[in-house]
Amino acid sequence: MAKKKKKNGKFAFFKKTGIVFSLFAVLVLAFYCAYLDRVIRKKFDGKRWDLPAVVYARPLELYTGLHLTAEQLEKELQLAGYRPESLPDAAGGYESLNQKIHLVTRDFHFPDGLQKSTNLTVTFSRDRIQSIYQTDSYEELSIVRLDPARIGSFHPREHEDRIVLSRSELPDLLIKTLLAVEDQDFFTHFGLSPRSIARAIWANLKAGETVQGGSTLTQQLVKNFFLTNERTLWRKFNEAIMTLLLELHYSKDEILTAYANEIYLGQDGGRAVHGFALASQFYFRRNVEDISPAQIALLVGMVKGPSYYNPVRHPERTLKRKKLVMDIMREQSLIDEETYKQAQTSPVIDSGKTLSGFNRFPAFLDLVRRQLVQDYHEEDLTSDGLKILSTLDPQMQWQVEKHLSQTLNALEKRSNVETLEGAVIVTNRENGEILAVSGGRNPLQNSFNRAVDAVRPVGSLIKPAVYLTALQNGYTLTSPVDDSAITVDLQDGTQWKPKNFDRIEHGRVALYQALAHSYNLATVRLGMNISLEKVMQTVKHLGIDSSFPPYPSLLLGAVSMSPLEMSHMYQTFAAGGFFIPQRVIGSVLAADNSIVKRFALSVEQRFAPEHIFLINTALQNAVNEGTGKSLAALVPSSYNVAGKTGTSNDLRDSWFAGFTNDRMALVWIGRDDNKPTGLTGASGALVVWGNMIRDFASQPLQLVEPPGIEWSWINPETLETTNRFHYKCRQLPYIAGSSPNPGSTASPSLQKKEPDKGILKTIRKWFQR
């Protein structure tokens, strides 16, 4: 009896202990489930994905007479993700045939509103657009704006990219196919489906390979969205609990939509492609609503293993997988027999030439990021899905990259110098928009952006600032300056004795001649006479923000600046004395396409138009008969280019900056190890500049003569007035009252006064009121 009581006592003890332990386990499980519930709801109810900021090129505007070839338009369409096809009828398709391009544009939200897709035909003749009309109605169109190319993104650390769609934007056939292959019981199970597991095992055994998965879509979403890929019992336990909780709180449509946006479907370099919408654009260059049944089958088939079934690397394997999915689609009556047969003969993906714009122009994107960080936090750029409408002109960018690379290759062979590098900045002369940037000869291989970060001695490129200062202080273009030896006493007790590049003293010369031929001695004497402080003030007003010590060598460009900073100075010359901050962004839109910010044109008049007219005339002369005269071999003289060469000591840096009527461009050539290149500004950078400008089809420069200018005929040798019949005569402009022959106001025959056109006309009127 005692033994029985003892045994019952033990049983009661274990029973109580078991109950306590069970209650404790249930309590712990409840708390853990509550924790997981908070994790799920916090992420699912909040911002589910970090959406990268997307950068677009400028929209291409087409109009009759535009200098553009069919080949150039096709290349830009490919950059924008358009696909070549016969008789295009869906957005994003085009056909090029016999100097005629048919295309269907895509919807795009611009700052001024949504622009709907339209079906266009563009014809070409003699490298220009001949006509534009609606393909269906043949209605002539005066101007058309194409949706811009996506050229890059700013990603979070995970480098994920996606296009988020709502449930209504997902094609029904895509959803039905996905459910047929991955989860037939999706709308009836509670997240976990033993029946699906059993059916998947049977289907896989019957097919002899894995054609269906046992996990439900909800389980897959939990694994991809909340968990890691580690294969442990603990992770499977978490997956099961979180799956049940997700089904408890959210509708089937919400879960299905999240899955369609989250699923990983491949890799584009360093960018992970997530979601069916982005995958449709990446693989087929189509919006997801426009993809065919065969393309739907391919994408759904890739869900099982995007790397294993990569259609680019493993087309045969992918084709086999696509056929299996098509079989299921036919069995489930999702497609008819005719559609099934057509899909079997369609290619895996479009085999046409593709030209991805994703981060294709890293130097330009670097400038975009630098401008954005002045107004936005890093998190805003990598998570809020901003749309950045930039100023990049792809046509111009390609020309810049081509000519910089080709010219450097040719220069290396000619001068037997290796490892030359370069940088180029091209802007719109009137509004300061940066149209193209190259940070090196191999733009996709260089992480060092020389256009911004290569700080090098600018040489004679700074000299126009000295001569502009002189013109502001009573000098004229024909004021005599002394190009003879000079010794300058420095503050440290030493002496500086500059030399001319040709080691020759040229004596008494006109001011415009000293600039044209870049005489060092005359420049130093001129600068010292008008004072370094005034020259430095002019440099700052021209747009240079850097501070320099007031050393006399500044007058010859013994200061270091980046190509971008130096381009600010020539932008001010090109804009007629107006300081216009350069910019790479036009506007920023939010993820919902509302306007976040417009980068408006900012203008400040910093120099009198008469002085700028004189210095720009002198810069034209520097190209016509000075150090830049070799440009005539590359660019027609009718372009009337204004510009200046620059060469640093020991031929380490070669520079050229100049402008036409529509564009300003600056080129630098040097070596990263700072060793001599053997190139002057004329034999190096000028060659790149000339080749680019020739292919840009630029407009000839027309300097607009401001009020208060008069002209006189001058003998360049004696600097005295003469008449137009003298064989050495030269007609030059003067500020009224400063001419050697006052009252002579005839306009020069070679520099006709043209009507003031464009935005500069408007700007000048503002400041003349």
Q: Which of 193, 280, 438, 460 is catalytic?
A: 460
DSSP label of 124: E
- In whole angstroms, give the CA distance from residue 282 to residue 311: 11
The pLDDT of residue 749 is: 34
- In whole angstroms, give the CA distance from residue 310 to residue 288: 18
Q: DSSP string covering 145-191, please?
A: EPPPPEEEEE--TT-EEE----GGGS-HHHHHHHHHHH-TTTTTSSS
Residue 61 corresponds to which tokens in the numbers above? 């505007």
769 pLDDT band (50/70/90 cuts)? very low
At 751, give phi and psi (nearest 5°): -125, 75
Give the mean pLDDT of 197-210: 61
DSSP label of 65: T
pTM: 0.81
Q: In this structure, are residues 312 and 349 in contact, taking their beta carbons and an 8 Å threshold?
A: yes
At 270, give phi and psi (nearest 5°): -90, 5
Residue 670 corresponds to which tokens in the numbers above? 């040097």
* C-alpha radius of gyration, the chain, whole number: 35
Q: DSSP string covering 358-382, please?
A: TT--HHHHHHHHHHHTTTS-HHHHH
The pLDDT of residue 597 is: 87
- In whole angstroms, give the CA distance from residue 705 to residue 613: 7
The pLDDT of residue 446 is: 63
Q: DSSP string covering 563-595, please?
A: HHHHHHHHHHHHTTSEE---BSEEEEE-TTS-E
Decide if 239 is catalytic.
no
Which pLDDT tens digit goes with each residue over 334-379? 989 888 888 877 776 764 444 455 678 989 999 998 988 887 776 7
Strands 93-96 and 456-457: unpaired
Which pLDDT tens digit goes with each residue over 239-276? 777 778 778 788 888 888 888 988 999 887 767 888 99
Decide if 331 is catalytic.
no
Amino acid at position 304, single letter: K
At 23, give phi and psi (nearest 5°): -60, -40
Which pLDDT tens digit goes with each residue over 522-544? 999 999 999 999 999 999 999 99
Q: Which of 74, 76, 85, 182 is catalytic?
A: 182
pLDDT of 744 strictly over 50: no
Q: In this structure, are residues 218 and 246 in contact, taking their beta carbons and an 8 Å threshold?
A: yes
Q: In this structure, are residues 82 and 104 in contact, taking their beta carbons and an 8 Å threshold?
A: no
